[in-house]
Amino acid sequence: MKSSVSMLVRLVVPVLVGLVMVSAVEAADRDKLLSEPGVYGTFAAFRLDADWGKQDQTVRIAQLTVLKGVVEQHREKLAIDLYLLRGLSDRADLLFRVHATELRETQQFLLDLQGSPFGRHLTDSAVFSGLTKKANYVPGMPDNLKADLKAPSEPGPKPYVIVIPIRKDAAWWSLPQEQRAAMMQEHTEAALPYNKTVKRKLYHATGLDDLDFITYFETSRLEDFQSLILALEKVKEYRYNRRFGHPTLLGTVRSLDEIIEVLAQ
Amino acid sequence: MKSSVSMLVRLVVPVLVGLVMVSAVEAADRDKLLSEPGVYGTFAAFRLDADWGKQDQTVRIAQLTVLKGVVEQHREKLAIDLYLLRGLSDRADLLFRVHATELRETQQFLLDLQGSPFGRHLTDSAVFSGLTKKANYVPGMPDNLKADLKAPSEPGPKPYVIVIPIRKDAAWWSLPQEQRAAMMQEHTEAALPYNKTVKRKLYHATGLDDLDFITYFETSRLEDFQSLILALEKVKEYRYNRRFGHPTLLGTVRSLDEIIEVLAQ
Amino acid sequence: MKSSVSMLVRLVVPVLVGLVMVSAVEAADRDKLLSEPGVYGTFAAFRLDADWGKQDQTVRIAQLTVLKGVVEQHREKLAIDLYLLRGLSDRADLLFRVHATELRETQQFLLDLQGSPFGRHLTDSAVFSGLTKKANYVPGMPDNLKADLKAPSEPGPKPYVIVIPIRKDAAWWSLPQEQRAAMMQEHTEAALPYNKTVKRKLYHATGLDDLDFITYFETSRLEDFQSLILALEKVKEYRYNRRFGHPTLLGTVRSLDEIIEVLAQ
Amino acid sequence: MKSSVSMLVRLVVPVLVGLVMVSAVEAADRDKLLSEPGVYGTFAAFRLDADWGKQDQTVRIAQLTVLKGVVEQHREKLAIDLYLLRGLSDRADLLFRVHATELRETQQFLLDLQGSPFGRHLTDSAVFSGLTKKANYVPGMPDNLKADLKAPSEPGPKPYVIVIPIRKDAAWWSLPQEQRAAMMQEHTEAALPYNKTVKRKLYHATGLDDLDFITYFETSRLEDFQSLILALEKVKEYRYNRRFGHPTLLGTVRSLDEIIEVLAQ
Amino acid sequence: MKSSVSMLVRLVVPVLVGLVMVSAVEAADRDKLLSEPGVYGTFAAFRLDADWGKQDQTVRIAQLTVLKGVVEQHREKLAIDLYLLRGLSDRADLLFRVHATELRETQQFLLDLQGSPFGRHLTDSAVFSGLTKKANYVPGMPDNLKADLKAPSEPGPKPYVIVIPIRKDAAWWSLPQEQRAAMMQEHTEAALPYNKTVKRKLYHATGLDDLDFITYFETSRLEDFQSLILALEKVKEYRYNRRFGHPTLLGTVRSLDEIIEVLAQ
């Protein structure tokens, strides 16, 4: 039954979303957006309202089809990832992660999303953004540590995603740069053993929201992820966190089609 | 009158939930899930919305019958316990405790639950998860203390359940392991006298939510439970709690059929 | 006009609530429940939803009649007191104080209450419970102070009620017992002058909610009550409060019939 | 157009509110209530619900007419002042300040208000009360300072109102009385230059809510008011505030008729 | 399609808003209001309710046309700026910044706005106000620093806006004036390098809300803005912030016509 819904959506898209060019989106830029510095990452989490589930399945499928169109259209410029939070987080049902070189383009996507028939059922949004930067924290870091850090994580699917916002306290920022660098090296070393099974990405949020950092994790082994966080809680740098989590978002990585399947049923 | 509703639900289930295999679920795995390390425990608390009670009793019974089907179906893989919080906690009416070896399976159950006609009346969910681990905190612990800890609690029903989430502060995690172990031994000794009448279970939550631990208690003697918590508040380790409770969930252990009875009326 | 509504309700009760035995409830146990140790006191505060007032008066009277039946029925086992908070507190409109030897019986009452047609209009409940204990805090307390404490408060109605939840900090619980006892004696002496005009009752809540104590006050002289609290804020023990109030509930003591009158209009 | 609505309301009142005696209320007591010690001041702030504005203007005028009747009726015993917060505060649209010698009478007014057709549109109430006391803080205060304090503020309308709730910390209350008195004299002297253009009134709230004081200000010169608060933030006593504002309510003083005009349109 | 909606609105305005004089508003005062001291700046942020998007487009356009009339009418006395927050902030969809010499006039505008058919869809408002003052913080500041500060920012559009509310702690206000001045000079010097690409404006909010300052930023280069905030977090004055952000509002500068376009679709 699942695949039939999926097929239906795939067939219906070109018809319903006539004006939208669902041309083969060039994925060339996606890799760049996900790896380069100077890119804005926006995390937009939503709940579905109570009316969503009360609609007829055909109505829901039609609305999800437009959702597909909206996402595909913006994928020409943006890297858009989707996550299912429902059942694992109590703050939201869906999470969009959007990468863009200009935050205005992310805003336009979210405006189109929220203005679509599907988007009118999205409520209680939580939105926060950060900027990717070149890793430059620890100038005197040993070369072998750097090499280890650059080693790619193990291949294979990493179904779980965790997003943890962080705010440092005023004492942190008033420390001399070398002291912060030394503590970040200790932090980095503590994290190293989990490099293979837990993929990490860092966003700098200072000024864009009441946050300093957004940390993003993907893993297939939640137990390793928990050990990583425990290791990080034991280094000195952790004591300078005024906020760590709150909310912590936990969910599973899903393709757009998978999300549509889940919501169509 | 109660038993007639119950009987009705029991009769109606096989008819309404045709596609669901309500075969005799093997309970073999349940014991394992509830006793072994490496198992994820998820606590999902819900309120019923205002519309629930306004529906006709027959509609409610039909929806509860589907609930029964959803729970039974997932009991093939998961250990699912239910609790009635209404009247004793102000945060939620119902609590599900779900044990699984993979959190994705718990997510699938909660997706099915919330997507069911009954689930559409569940709102304001609070969801948090933790992992069971081997008891390994205190290496130098005397053997007789270990033996006492392993003594089973008194047999007989333990109708009351209490769930207390805990977050330790940064100072706790920066202590050397031996100091934490010594404090945990003091904690354990303080708790020992209540071992017989208050059953406890611990979940490690670090990184999965804004928590470090989830503590779960069952008892028939709330006064003993209160004495236990008072004893724990007097040991040094307690001073390292940044959060203890908030919310504290208090309710009564109920079977699925009992919950259905209460909600059908 | 007031008394006619009241009379109507009194006449209608036996008819509408046929199945409920509104026999003359023995008040013998009420005195015991309100004076003995080992009794659970539950405070359940509710708002009325926006729909309540939009109903026809006859519908409201019918629903209030069932409320009367539900309360009367449970008064066979429980001591149930009612308070009107609307107009003096912003958190709730109604407060029930329920005393029971088993918390399950209080839960059953609140389940029946919230499941009744009237109860479906109760929202945003705040529920917290505590246990009465023998006064045993201060072992070396002078006998004349003990005698003064046992002196009954002045007779006559005490229309105002105030409920203040309290949580002590970790430093309090880690103090040696004698130090806490000495501070409690100072606290008790500060409160003594108000013993005649302000009636007090203490509940131990540790573990049942995110509280350690629930303090309950009745008075006809709010000015004396304010002076009492000011006196208590000046003793050392007060510095160990992590939470004092928040919420503080203020209302007036009302009979069930008075509440019904107010809500029927 | 404004005056025609106003006139309509004035004409309609005697007809619609037949049972209410809208006799010429004696204002004699109002002056007493507003100037003497031992009077309870209650601040009740409300939002208007979304349905209010969707009603027909004639329905709204009819409801406002009843509001007028309710207020006038209670003005026989109570001093009732109204303020428009909408546009300047985000917590509420309307503020009532009620002075009474017995808090029960204020409760009765607010019960009648919320039970009226207009009151059914009032939501999210915030209610807090305090008691006026004789100024007695600083025993050794110089006589000329006392005289300056008693000098009346400049005549003329003071259109702006600000209400700031305050809670002192435990350290404040544990100070010896003389130290607090000395700090209050410093506070008083800092406030003196603004005595002419900013009218102040103090209410003692300890125990009635999670507050110790409610400070009330009227002015036509908000810039002076801001300078006053800045001056008060610089004296030692300010450091003992655990809460100052939160919420701070800002609005404009309006007559009942002006409020009715605004809400009728 | 965009421009046709815009044209439609432009054509319809004079017809629908007959009574409103949409004469050519003199912009002379706008410059004054935006540059002089002694002006009140009010930030009013709103969400659109769920019903807004469910209305027919023609209904929405009619309501937006009235919005245009309300804004134009008040622009005779007030400087009104609009910002689109949706997609970048989770607290609100729209932000109005209003400058006035009298706060009453701002209140009247917001009353008219919220009372209009469009305004009835605005919910969850957040409103806070501050006063502009002459820059007078640092008396001994070098002249070249002063000159640098007065240099205008680079010309060209600055599409991004950020609003950060700030509250200083009690320790800040109890410092001697010279010490605060010295710290403000350090603050000013740290900010100087970003003067060209990040436009700033400061409002003094003490007493008008639970804030001391409102800081307003416009930029086309968010990365510079982030560097500016990071620089400010490293100076001593930052340690005296009790609140910085929370909420931080992030959005894009839009003309009234652009807002209408977005909302009409």
Segment B171-220, tens digit of pLDDT: 999 999 999 999 999 999 999 999 999 999 999 999 999 999 999 999 99
Nearest CA of chain B to the CA of C14: how many Å? 21
pLDDT at C150: 79
Provide the 3-class DSSP secondary structure of residue B259. helix
Which of B88, B229, B248 has its CB closest to that of C103? B88
pLDDT exceeds 90 at position E84 = yes
Kindly report, residue by residue over A99-155, the tens digit of the pLDDT. 999 999 999 999 999 999 999 999 988 999 999 999 765 666 778 777 877 788 888
Residue of B nearest to C212 (CA): B230
Domains present along chain B, CATH in parentheses: 2-130+254-264 (3.30.70.3420), 143-250 (3.30.70.3420)
- The number of C-alpha atoms within 13 Å of E119 and in the hemisphere containing its C-beta is 21
Query: Quick check: is D200 catalytic?
Result: yes
What are B42's strand-pairing partners?
B98, B129
Kindly report, residue by residue over E99-125, the tens digit of the pLDDT. 999 999 999 999 999 999 999 999 988
Share of chain B above pLDDT 70, in %: 88
CA gap C205, D11 in Å, rounded: 57
Which of D40, D104, D115 has its CB closest to that of C159? D104
Which of D84, D234, D245 has its CB closest to that of E210? D245
Q: Which of B119, B121, B118, B19 is nearest to B63 (CA)?
A: B118
pLDDT exceeds 50 at position D20 = no
Nearest CA of chain C to the CA of B89: how many Å? 6
Chains E and C touch (3+ CB pairs under 8 A): no
- Average pLDDT (D145-153) is 79
CB B163 within 8 A of CB B124: no
Chains B and A touch (3+ CB pairs under 8 A): yes
- The number of C-alpha atoms within 13 Å of A262 and in the hemisphere containing its C-beta is 25
**Subunit contact C223:D170, Cβ cutoff 8 A:** no
**What mean pLDDT, rounded, does chain E reach?**
89
CB A118 within 8 A of CB A69: no
Residue of A nearest to B122 (CA): A50
| Residue B31: exposure state from Cβ atoms within 10 A (0-12, 13-18, ≥19) | exposed
pLDDT at C73: 95
Residues of chain C with pLDDT under 70: 1-28, 136-140
Q: Which residue has the tokens 């080693």?
A: A151
Kindly report, residue by residue over D48-89, the tens digit of the pLDDT. 999 998 899 999 999 999 999 999 999 999 999 999 999 999
Nearest CA of chain B to the CA of C105: how many Å? 10
- The number of C-alpha atoms within 13 Å of E183 and in the hemisphere containing its C-beta is 17
pLDDT exceeds 60 at position D22 = no
Q: How confident is the model at residue B138 (pLDDT cuts 50, 70, 90)?
A: low
- DSSP string computed for C61-86: HHHHHHHHHHHHHHTTT-EEEEEE-B
CA gap A238, A245 in Å, rounded: 12
pLDDT at C27: 57
Pairing of strands A213-219, D160-168: unpaired
> DSSP state, B25?
-
| Residue C223: exposure state from Cβ atoms within 10 A (0-12, 13-18, ≥19) | middle
Kindly report, residue by residue over B26-52, the tens digit of the pLDDT. 555 899 999 999 999 999 999 999 999
Q: Which of D190, D254, D196, D245 is nearest to D216 (CA)?
A: D245
Q: How confident is the model at residue D152 (pLDDT cuts 50, 70, 90)?
A: confident
Q: How confident is the model at residue E22 (pLDDT cuts 50, 70, 90)?
A: very low
**Subunit contact E210:D86, Cβ cutoff 8 A:** no
Side chain identity at B181, as an amino acid letter? A
- Average pLDDT (D258-262) is 96
> DSSP state, E56?
-
- DSSP string computed for chain E: -HHHHHHHHHHHHHHHTTTS-------HHHHHHHHSSS-EEEEEEEEEPTTGGGS-HHHHHHHHHHHHHHHHHHTTT-EEEEEE-BTTBSS-SEEEEEEESSHHHHHHHHHHHHHSTTGGGEEEEEEEEEE-----S-TT--HHHHHHHHSPPPSS---EEEEEEEEE-HHHHTS-HHHHHHHHHHHHHHHGGGTTTEEEEEEE-BTTBS-SEEEEEEES-HHHHHHHHHHHHTSGGGGGEEEE-SSPEEEEEE-HHHHHHHHH-
The Cα-based distances of D89 to C143, D145, D253, E128 in angstroms read 55, 35, 13, 7
pLDDT exceeds 80 at position E184 = yes
D161, two tokens: 């109102």
pLDDT exceeds 80 at position E176 = yes
CB D137 within 8 A of CB D181: yes
Burial call D147-161: b when 16+ CB within 10 Å, e when fewer: eeeeeeeeeeebbbb
Phi, psi of C47 (to 5 degrees): -95, 150
**Subunit contact B111:A87, Cβ cutoff 8 A:** yes
Side chain identity at B234, as an amino acid letter? K
Q: Which of C91, C200, C221, C243 is catalytic?
A: C200
**Subunit contact C174:B238, Cβ cutoff 8 A:** yes
CB D111 within 8 A of CB C262: yes
C101 vs B: CB within 8 A? no
Provide the 3-class DSSP secondary structure of residue C125. strand
Provide the 3-class DSSP secondary structure of residue C202. strand
Which of B120, B174, B204 has its CB closest to that of A226? B204
pLDDT exceeds 80 at position E12 = no
Which of A44, A120, A209 has its CB closest to that of E248? A209
Collect all residues of chain C within an 8 Å Cβ-Cβ radius of residue D107: 84, 86-88, 252
Residues of chain A with pLDDT under 70: 1-28, 136-140
C134, two tokens: 């023998």
Beta-carbon contacts of A174 under 8 Å, excluding residues fewer than 6 positions away, are E234, E236, E238, E239
pLDDT exceeds 90 at position D153 = no
Share of chain E above pLDDT 90, in %: 78
Phi, psi of D117 (to 5 degrees): -55, -40
Kindly report, residue by residue over B74-108, the tens digit of the pLDDT. 999 999 999 999 999 999 999 999 999 999 999 99
Q: Which of C236, C238, C191 is nearest to C217 (CA)?
A: C191
Q: Which residue has the tokens 């003793």?
A: C235
> DSSP state, C204?
E
CA gap C119, C110 in Å, rounded: 9
B198 vs C: CB within 8 A? no
Q: Which of B30, B200, B221, B243 is catalytic?
A: B200
Q: How confident is the model at residue B153 (pLDDT cuts 50, 70, 90)?
A: confident
Collect all residues of chain C within an 8 Å Cβ-Cβ radius of residue D42: 88
- Average pLDDT (B152-158) is 87
A228 vs B: CB within 8 A? yes
Beta-carbon contacts of D56 under 8 Å, excluding residues fewer than 6 positions away, are none
Q: Which chains touch D (3 or more CB pairs under 8 A)?
A: C, E
CB atoms within 10 A of CB D40: 23
**Subunit contact B226:C208, Cβ cutoff 8 A:** yes
**Subunit contact D239:E170, Cβ cutoff 8 A:** yes
Q: Which of A86, A91, A200, A243 is catalytic?
A: A200
Provide the 3-class DSSP secondary structure of residue A212. coil
pTM for this prediction: 0.92
Q: Any idea how long chain B is? A: 265
CA gap C98, C41 in Å, rounded: 6
Provide the 3-class DSSP secondary structure of residue E30. helix
| Residue A76: exposure state from Cβ atoms within 10 A (0-12, 13-18, ≥19) | exposed
